[in-house]
Structure 1
């Protein structure tokens, strides 16, 4: 893929993107979806009676329990007023992928992982937290790690 950026102070438009391709491919589709998706800068969580502003990059994983969704960051757990699938969609291009039916993890916070005898992975985060990746999602996690974690450049 070739990327050309033209910075011109005479340009009237704020920003314009043109994609030139021989045919419509999966890569083009992913690029279009990435450009359309808005990136959240912060996520609001609730802890006791306070609303807490979180940076998604500092969150180890999100998990669902008892019909509630929580964020785990540096060993602290805070409740969110969102659904797990909404978080997964919103943060998919920031290094968050599904670990299991009830967990979405941040692969950019992974320190190391160990393979369990039953085919699951035990993921250890830089904060010291750990979570399990079910067999169904192990291959996707490995692929994301091999691609370098973040599916976009900063």
Structure 2
């Protein structure tokens, strides 16, 4: 694969041009992740609204009809539903890990199998998140296994 980077004239808009015969799943995933990187999340902390970049998110979790955004050190509340977040970010590094959580694959430090086909993911911030057995195939596909 050949990669060419050109300087954009001042005032010009950056663009990405892909030349290929047939775009495969990996290439389409790359395109979607580039697009997902541009979208930002709004997280609430009390009455304050915070702009959160998706690459800062470790995971999303639904608890008591509320959705929370877990970052390195802070937790924010989202006004979006879990299924909306899944649809918005599944083409990037995010995948459904259980009925109540969506996990960022890029934030996983290690994985270990636990009882009944489930996995335990240790994240870079030290937190542990469990992956339900029905979502393990999705995780393996995201990791290219």
What TM-score range do you get, normalising by the shorter chain?
A: 0.7 to 0.9
Q: Give distance in 2, aligned partners of 1:123 and 1:38.
A: 23
Instruction: Give the TM-score of the pair, scaled to structure 2.
Output: 0.76
Instruction: Give the TM-score of the pair, scaled to structure 1.
Output: 0.72
Q: Give distance in 1, aligned partners of 2:70 and 2:77.
A: 9
**Greater Cα shift, 98-107 or 67-76:** 67-76
1:121-153 CA-to-partner distances (Å, cap 9, x unmatched) read 111110111111000011110221136xxxxxx
Show structure 2 runs of 5+ residues with no match. Answer: none
Question: Of residues 52, 58, 66 in structure 1, which corresponds to 2:56?
Answer: 58
Show structure 1 runs of 5+ residues with no match. Answer: 148-154
1:3 shift after superposition: 7.7
Equivalent residue number for residue 114 of structure 1 = 112
Say how many residue pairs are matched. 142
User: What is the 5 A alignment of 1:34-45?
Assistant: 34=32, 39-45=37-43
Which of 1 and 2 has greater Rg? 1
Give 4+ residue runs of structure 1 displaced > 3 Å after superposition.
Answer: 2-5, 14-21, 24-27, 37-41
